[in-house]
Amino acid sequence: MATHTLPLLDSEVVTGSFLPFAAPDIGQEEIDEVVACLRSGWITTGPRAKRFEEEFAAYIGGGVEAVAVNSATAGLHLALEALGVGPGDEVITTPYTFTATAEVIRYLGADPVFVDVDPLTMNIDASKIERAITPRTKVILPVHFAGLAADMDPILRIARAHGLRVVDDAAHSLPTRYHGEMVGSLRTDATVFSFYATKTITTGEGGMVVSRDPTIASRCRVMRLHGISRDVFDRYTSAQASWRYEVVAPGYKYNMTDISAAIGIHQLRKADRFQDRREALAREYDRCLRDLPVTLPPHAPNGSVHAWHLYVIRISNDAPVTRDEFIERMTAQNIGCSVHFIPLHIQPYWRDTYSLRPEQFPHSLTAYRQAVSLPLYTRMTSADQTRVVASVRSILAR
């Protein structure tokens, strides 16, 4: 982004306090549950984490098991480790994502292989996956960008044809549906959700791994807490002598606390209502911005559901300002925006480690140069949205 500050145009007026790009929606139920948790004396992984897992698995459906962790990054790491990804392996994914999607591959000594995105959805282009497969490929890792499901049917067909596993990054995608099925209940090996502060539901920090395969779920449970074969909750509440445990692998410290789970229990119960509100905001943005020099985000096809974690517009090349100038002007009007994402293939580590060039993934590069995420969160009022729309129009209307 340019470092200079553009002057406001005559039509641009700074009104009101800073309007954030995102904000959590925490109610009295969450507060009361956290207080009850603190008073209970059990604040680390315990009965509330277990309840959150059970209710989350029931919400996703399809007979999945759920494993609560302290971040989606941790969940992706655990899922790939459970599938045996290791040094020399390759995992196919997209460069149009946050670095966590790829960094967990490197944690295990494997290599990411990037495939460009579809220019409309900004999800991985399934038609380009097969040509990226090599004898070293072990997993395909699609990302459901902004809350819109990737095209999973062809991805799963390709995986089956080549004997590959599939882990989907659903950090943006609760409650996303693909052809009527909840993301997380599809025929993938594992799905990972995020409950970061800006996500569709939050635990502050946190994530969830879901899988139909009990072997994968069991391995994730063991590895999330130092490779110990029994959950700490079970060890300390068992009626039997419980001080004995076995370390069966060199695991990690990825468990979710009961304090976080206390928030998540009530956030999950609001997930459908939150999605309704996000979709209503997205449709209002569509109505108000459709005549501007922007590309509006795609909606889910019939029978599917968009979670609307993000509302990403793309500034057209013939707009009166560049993308960077647009963000500067929105900031000058006290409105927060963001960019999702700076593609991994132009980030120094990934670029230099794998000798990547900007033009290798042209759709990801073009999307990045045009994309702006507008404020979208469930606490956003109609007046807030009207203010955002007025600012966008004052900057982009010809």
Q: What angle do CA 232, 233, 237 make, to 5 degrees?
A: 115
Contact present, 262 and 37 (Cβ < 8 Å)? yes
Q: Which amino acid, 286? A: D
Nearest to 278, CA basis, from 127, 385, 203, 387: 385
How does DSSP classify residue 132? G
Contact present, 113 and 90 (Cβ < 8 Å)? yes
Neighbours of 387 (CB within 10 A): 19
Torsion angle of the four alpha carbons 179, 156, 144, 253, in this order, in degrees rounded to the nearest 10: 130
Taking the C-alpha atoms of residue 309 and residue 220, their distance in angstroms, rounded to an integer, is 26
Contact present, 153 and 129 (Cβ < 8 Å)? no
Rg for the chain, CA atoms, rounded? 22
Active site residue 199: yes
Tokens of 192: 């990972």
Tokens of 258: 């009961």
- Catalytic choice (128, 138, 199, 270): 199
Mind telling me the catalytic residues? 199
